[in-house]
Amino acid sequence: KFREGKYTITWSDFSVGTPEKGLTRVKQMVTQAAQEAMGFKPDLVEKYDIGTPVYYKFGDDWYKGKVTAFQAGWYTITWDDDGSTDTYDDLGVMKQMVDAAANLAVTSIEAQEYPTGTPVYNGEFTGKVTGFDDGKYEVTFADGTVHHFHDAKHMHSLVEAANQKARAENPMAVGNSAATAVIVISVLVLS
């Protein structure tokens, strides 16, 4: 039944529910039921290990999850956002989800310029990069506040400010060209 933009499903035990993922999930359930009714036999060989990450688009939003079970040709996916589960027997869909997760991981790694632990300074507090996800840096400052930054230029300025602060506090630090010049001249004079 479809009412007020939602599908209501009556299950074989006569309970009633609304799928959380909307039309996409309803289409999937109808397809699976039709395949079972026509005698479809799923591939019983497990191709994706438990724990394999997946990434899938429902409506306008993308969701991360992982394979949490495999039984009789059906994969169970548990979604990270709400812990809900879906089952899939279509290896084409499974391949799309696994490939999308692999591409997401590569994109995230390539986009991360500053690794976890990189020092930052906002003019008031020092801090460090404590995470990176979907192109967004998580930064924790010395006062305990946690901020998230998408802007690469802003991250660069925070990291550069930390580098300048470190050079000012430790003029003998490696990479401080003025300190290096003084050391080189001292060695030449003493020789």
pLDDT of 176 reads 46
Q: Is the dihedral of CA 53, 63, 100, 24 positive or negative?
A: positive
Tens digits of residue pLDDT in 128-138: 998 887 778 88
Distant-in-sequence, close-in-space partners of 87: CB < 8 Å, separation ≥ 6 = 32, 74, 75, 76, 77
Helix-strand-coil percent breakdown of the chain, rounded to 5? 35, 30, 35
What percent of the chain has pLDDT above 70?
69
Running DSSP on this structure, what letter comes out for residue 15? -
pLDDT of 136 reads 80
CA proximity to 76, closest of 40, 45, 38, 49: 49
Average pLDDT over residues 161-181: 69
Long-range CB contacts (within 8 A, 24+) of 70-76: 70/46, 72/42, 72/44, 73/41, 73/42, 73/43, 73/44, 74/42, 75/48
Average pLDDT over residues 57-62: 79
pLDDT of 162 reads 93
pLDDT of 33 reads 74
Average pLDDT over residues 27-53: 75
Phi, psi of 112 (to 5 degrees): -85, 105
Residue 32 and residue 22: Cα distance in Å, rounded? 16
Higher confidence at residue 113 or residue 95?
Answer: 95
Do 120 and 139 touch, CB atoms closer than 8 A?
A: yes
pLDDT of 143 reads 92
What is the H or E stretch that residue 52 is in?
none
Do 134 and 148 touch, CB atoms closer than 8 A?
A: no
Rounded mean pLDDT of the chain?
77
